């Protein structure tokens, strides 16, 4: 009975060890570039757009 339990636990340990999944995490070989210029550029255009609206409104008289 004791021997049986022992052998089962040994078997189980071996079984679990064999089933341990291998997950490999590898760093990408190239650096990750996140381009924030797009957003910044977009904000600048919105800003210029508003400033142009101010110039275009009759107060300046240029349009």
Partner 1 sequence: MNLRKAITMSLLAATLSLPVAAMNLNEAMSALGQAKASGQVGEMANGYLGIVKNEGNAAVITQLINDARKKEYQNLAKKNGITLNDVEVMAGQKAQEKTPAGQYINVGGKWQKK
Nearest distance, CB of residue 54 and partner 1, angstroms: 10
Nearest distance, CB of residue 38 and partner 1, angstroms: 14
Q: Closer to partner 1 at the Cβ: 11 or 44?
A: 44
- HEC assignment per residue over 20-39: CCCCCCCCCCCCCCCCCHHH
> Torsion angle of alpha carbons 53, 54, 57, 62, nearest 10°?
-100
Q: Is 42 in the site for partner 1 (CB under 8 A)?
A: no
Helix/strand/coil for 18: helix
Binding site for partner 1 (CB under 8 A): 44-45, 47-49, 51-53, 55-56, 60-63
């Amino acid at each position: 009975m004791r021997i049986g339990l022992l052998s089962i636990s040994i078997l189980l340990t071996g079984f679990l060890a064999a089933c341990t999944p291998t997950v490999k995490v590898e760093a990408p070989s190239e650096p990750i570039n996140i381009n924030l210029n797009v957003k910044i550029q977009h904000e600048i255009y919105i800003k210029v757009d508003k400033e142009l609206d101010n110039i275009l409104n009759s107060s300046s008289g240029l349009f």
